[in-house]
């Protein structure tokens, strides 16, 4: 009897439990643990993808994959999982789907596809392996896993990692509005609408969520190769020909030629319980296997804002001169509690011109004159961040005409040089319409280009800058990549992000030897490249009501990044509040870096108030850890409130950004802490005991608590 009991107990203690012979009487294969359950039919359909804790099934008994291949006659020939003969069987820890050949619109494709589904503690892993046996073909794309006609409760939201994070209340309407309008007439819109969402082109993490308040479903590609990954969100037509059938999944790009084998085990799905923070923790747990962020210099942690200013523009106009750095610029910065300048266009050719020559501006005393201005600027502790572009090579530069420029640049799928153009204008229309400046794009892995980047850092250090900044090294371009033309079909490099990350790692190691306090920055927020930087200049802009940058901030609280796009006196209070609420630094770029904040009096006055609060409580608000909504509770859901932790202190930032003028009264509970003091803007009021706050439209309150 004891042996029987022990055997039963052992059966239920294993993580993955199989039904009889792993297949029931109706031909279904099920794997499950205490968090999730997956069922596949003998036809290879995904019947169940269940959150065991809540009972929510996201699947609808539909196929799980499709692929696309090229032949000499046609491109993107589609093969789908519902038209195949498949053998489904159990493995030691999962389900195997074996397709010995594939049926497509032109008959049988001699390709062998194997798909494996396995359970891990908190996620389902969907692995794939293919061998292409069809001559003169290349399998370009595999969309797997797919959850077709995904079943969502009505209150689910879409959370993406675009520019740190965005949130959309109605995923279907968002796809219709933004997917269709994004590239009208360029897609088969008679079949489906599709959202443009690809890592790492503007997407900061390789995951997205469909999230409810207490549960959701996580899609992530835990890809240690950091390859391009499409985040699949499509709407297909229902029986009434309306776009309501939602499909979600992950797409990879094998570029698998005849005689080659390709595999991938990076893609995972997790039906999770709890808030979106649970999903963020899944991603962070994977990131811990590669995340390599150094301790950020203290001055960067304590930097509330910077002024981003162009000295000389690409068409030759001087907007500012070197003495302005320690004159009007310094005065403007100090008027708003800002002590840093990110200097653009300090070289002779001017902004977005002459890269990577960056000739000394002889009319202003060359590098000696620039270094002297920096020394004067830094006398009161101000910081100078020195700009270079990390990838663009001006076709009129000496480096391109007489140096290595032609050899280090990317080439497209025809072998032609990849070209980017920048169309800044002066007061007329000619420059922007006709006379654009042309650049080729550098391959950052090339030794000659890496040496150039090192020389840039050394020059910034010699001139006395506190940091070297490389524009456009933070992301992986969709179009600007290098193509290999040596095979039957051209193949792009799909690891541009990895290449750039390794280049930033190389630079970081170099500047660390120069001075550990010398900082490294780049543009575009993306996890793999951000790990090697001390700060990130945000791109693209993300300050609308769909902004959800707490997604990235909570997942990677170590990473410091800025806002973008606040260039005049428009929508100032809401956007400045949003930055302090989430611990985001202010990028002061008045009239696209052509003027100073003294010319935007509303922005100047309000940022001065908020930065005074930031600087007063810098140790917790700036150098502390972003803790999102944890450690406290607020009675009103209309109040936006976030916490920051440092040593024995907690700061709670609260704001009211409702579109109407409604006043909000909220009570606050902070277990284990006692109230110390507060600071406010507008007509905000904080009770003497710190337990109640009254906020009018765009009011701000910062409350400081100490541990009991």
DSSP SS3 for 595: coil
Among 588, 16, 695, CA closest to 304: 588
CA–CA separation, 686 vs 665, rounded Å?
10
CA–CA separation, 501 vs 389, rounded Å?
15
CA–CA separation, 326 vs 343, rounded Å?
12
Q: What tokens does 193 get?
A: 């609408």
CB within 8 Å of 451: residues ≥ 6 apart: none
What DSSP letter does each residue of 339-394 carry, written as one string? Answer: -EEEEES-SSS-TTSSTTT----GGGTHHHHHHHHHHHHGGGT-EEEEEEESSEEE
pLDDT of 559-569, one tens digit each?
999 999 999 99
pLDDT of 408-429, one tens digit each?
999 999 999 999 998 888 899 8
CA–CA separation, 651 vs 644, rounded Å?
5
Burial class (CB in 10 A: 0-12, 13-18, 19+), 268: buried
Evaluate the CA torsion angle 313, 315, 319, 325 in order and state its sign.
positive
How many Cα atoms are found within 13 Å in the side-chain-facing hemisphere of 435? 9
How many Cα atoms are found within 13 Å in the side-chain-facing hemisphere of 628? 15
CA angle 47, 52, 53 (to 5 degrees): 150
Q: Which residues pair with 412 in a beta bridge?
A: none
CB-CB contact of 684 with 663 (8 Å): no
Which residue matches tokens 């009021």? 685
Q: What tokens does 18 get?
A: 């199989």
CA angle 188, 189, 194 (to 5 degrees): 95
CB-CB contact of 371 with 463 (8 Å): yes
Q: Reduce the secondary structure of 153-171 to three states and give it as a string.
A: CCCCEEEECECCCEEECCH
pLDDT of 274-320, one tens digit each?
999 999 999 999 999 999 999 999 999 999 999 999 999 999 999 99
CA–CA separation, 160 vs 166, rounded Å?
5
CB-CB contact of 431 with 483 (8 Å): no
What DSSP letter does each residue of 462-522 carry, written as one string? Answer: HTT-SEEEEET-SS--SSS--EE-SSSS-EE-S-HHHHHHHHHHHHHHHHHHH-TTSEEEE
CA–CA separation, 656 vs 621, rounded Å?
19
Chain length of the chain: 708
* Residues of the chain where predicted confidence (pLDDT) is lower than 50: 1-22, 24-25
Burial class (CB in 10 A: 0-12, 13-18, 19+), 489: middle
CA–CA separation, 500 vs 445, rounded Å?
8
DSSP SS3 for 558: coil
DSSP SS3 for 8: helix
CB within 8 Å of 564: residues ≥ 6 apart: 537, 538, 539, 540, 541, 542, 543, 587, 589
CB within 8 Å of 211: residues ≥ 6 apart: 156, 157, 158, 159, 217, 275, 276, 279
CB-CB contact of 702 with 655 (8 Å): no
Q: What tokens does 325 get?
A: 């750095």
Which residue matches tokens 């031909």? 27
CA–CA separation, 644 vs 443, rounded Å?
40
Among 545, 540, 579, CA closest to 203: 540
CB-CB contact of 244 with 149 (8 Å): no
Give all strands (DSSP E) within 622-672, no chain letters: 625-628, 633-634, 640-646, 649-655, 664-669
- The domains of the chain, with CATH numbers, are 19-287 (2.70.98.90), 306-391+449-616 (3.20.20.80), 625-707 (2.60.40.1180)
CA angle 488, 489, 490 (to 5 degrees): 125
What DSSP letter does each residue of 160-226 carry, written as one string? Answer: E-BTT-EEES-HHHHIIIIIHHHSTTSS-TTTEEE---EETTTBSSSEEEEE-SSEEEEEEE--TT-
CA–CA separation, 576 vs 322, rounded Å?
29
Give all strands (DSSP E) within 241-352, no chain letters: 243-252, 256-257, 261-273, 305-310, 340-344
CA–CA separation, 409 vs 439, rounded Å?
10
CB-CB contact of 81 with 66 (8 Å): yes
Cis peptide bond upstream of 17, omega within 30: no
Residues 286-295 as b/e (b if ≥16 CB within 10 A, e otherwise) read bbeeeeeeee
Q: Sort residue 662 into left (φ over 0), alpha (ψ -120 to 50) or beta.
A: beta
Among 361, 98, 413, 335, CA closest to 343: 361
DSSP SS3 for 252: strand
CA–CA separation, 179 vs 162, rounded Å?
14
């Amino acid at each position: 009897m004891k042996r029987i009991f022990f055997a039963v107990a052992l059966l239920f203690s294993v993580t993955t439990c199989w039904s009889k012979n792993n297949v029931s009487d109706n031909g279904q294969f099920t794997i499950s643990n205490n968090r999730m359950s997956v069922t596949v039919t003998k036809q290879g359909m995904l019947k169940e993808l269940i959150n065991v804790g809540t009972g929510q099934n996201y699947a609808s008994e539909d196929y799980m994959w499709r692929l696309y291949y090229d032949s000499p006659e046609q491109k993107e020939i589609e093969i789908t999982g519902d038209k195949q003969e498949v053998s489904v069987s159990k493995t030691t820890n999962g389900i195997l789907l074996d397709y010995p050949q594939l049926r497509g619109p032109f008959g049988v494709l001699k390709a062998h596809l194997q798909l494996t589904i396995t359970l891990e503690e908190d996620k389902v892993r969907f692995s794939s392996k293919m061998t292409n046996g069809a001559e003169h073909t290349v399998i370009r794309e595999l969309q797997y896993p797919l959850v077709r006609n995904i079943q969502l409760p009505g209150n689910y939201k879409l959370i993406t990692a675009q520019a740190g994070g965005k949130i959309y209340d109605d995923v279907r309407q968002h796809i219709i509005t933004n997917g269709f309008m994004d590239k009208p007439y360029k897609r088969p819109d008679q079949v489906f609408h599709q959202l443009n969402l690809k890592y790492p082109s503007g997407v900061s993490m390789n995951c997205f969520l469909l999230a409810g308040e207490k549960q959701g479903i996580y899609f992530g590609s835990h890809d240690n190769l950091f390859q391009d990954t499409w985040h699949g969100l499509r709407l297909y037509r229902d029986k009434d020909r309306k776009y309501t059938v939602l499909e979600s999944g992950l797409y990879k790009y094998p570029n698998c030629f005849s005689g080659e084998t390709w595999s991938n085990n990076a893609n995972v799905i997790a039906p999770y319980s709890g808030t979106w923070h649970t999903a963020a923790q899944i991603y962070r747990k994977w990131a811990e296997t590669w995340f390599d962020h150094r301790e950020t210099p203290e001055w960067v942690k304590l930097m509330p804002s910077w002024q981003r200013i162009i000295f000389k523009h690409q068409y030759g106009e001087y907007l500012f001169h070197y003495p302005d750095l320690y004159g009007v610029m310094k005065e403007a910065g100090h008027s708003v509690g800002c002590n840093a300048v990110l200097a653009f266009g300090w070289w002779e050719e001017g902004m977005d011109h002459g890269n990577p020559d960056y000739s000394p501006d002889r009319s202003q005393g060359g590098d000696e004159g620039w270094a002297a201005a920096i020394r004067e600027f830094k006398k009161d502790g101000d910081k100078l961040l020195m700009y270079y572009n990390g990838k663009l090579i001006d076709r009129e530069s000496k480096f391109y005409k007489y140096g290595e420029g032609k050899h280090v640049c990317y080439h497209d799928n025809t072998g032609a040089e990849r070209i980017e153009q920048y169309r800044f204008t002066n007061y007329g229309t000619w420059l922007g319409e006709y006379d654009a400046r042309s650049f080729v794009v550098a391959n950052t892995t090339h030794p000659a280009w890496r040496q150039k980047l090192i020389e840039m850092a050394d020059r910034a250090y010699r001139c006395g800058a506190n940091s070297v900044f490389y524009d456009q090294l933070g992301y992986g371009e969709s179009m600007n990549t290098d193509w290999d033309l040596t095979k039957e079909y051209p193949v792009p490099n799909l690891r541009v992000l990895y290449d750039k990350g390794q280049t930033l790692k190389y630079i970081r190691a170099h500047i660390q030897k120069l001075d550990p306090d010398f900082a490294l920055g780049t543009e575009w927020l993306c996890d793999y490249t951000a790990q090697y930087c001390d700060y990130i200049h945000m791109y693209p802009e993300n300050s609308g009501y769909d902004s959800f940058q707490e997604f990235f901030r909570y997942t990677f609280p170590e990473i410091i990044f800025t806002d973008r796009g606040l260039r005049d006196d428009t929508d100032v209070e809401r956007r400045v509040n949003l930055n302090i609420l989430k611990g985001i630094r202010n990028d002061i770029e008045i009239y696209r870096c052509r003027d100073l904040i003294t010319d935007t009096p509303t922005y100047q006055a309000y940022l001065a108030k908020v930065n005074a609060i930031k600087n007063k409580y810098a140790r917790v608000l700036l150098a502390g850890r972003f803790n999102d909504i944890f450690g406290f509770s607020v009675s009103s859901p209309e109040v936006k409130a976030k916490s920051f932790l440092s040593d024995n202190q907690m700061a709670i930032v609260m704001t009211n950004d409702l579109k109407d003028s409604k006043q909000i009264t909220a009570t606050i509970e902070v277990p284990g802490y006692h109230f110390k003091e507060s600071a406010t803007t507008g007509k905000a009021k904080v009770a003497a005991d710190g337990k109640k706050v009254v906020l009018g439209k765009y009011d701000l309150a910062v409350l400081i608590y100490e541990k009991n």
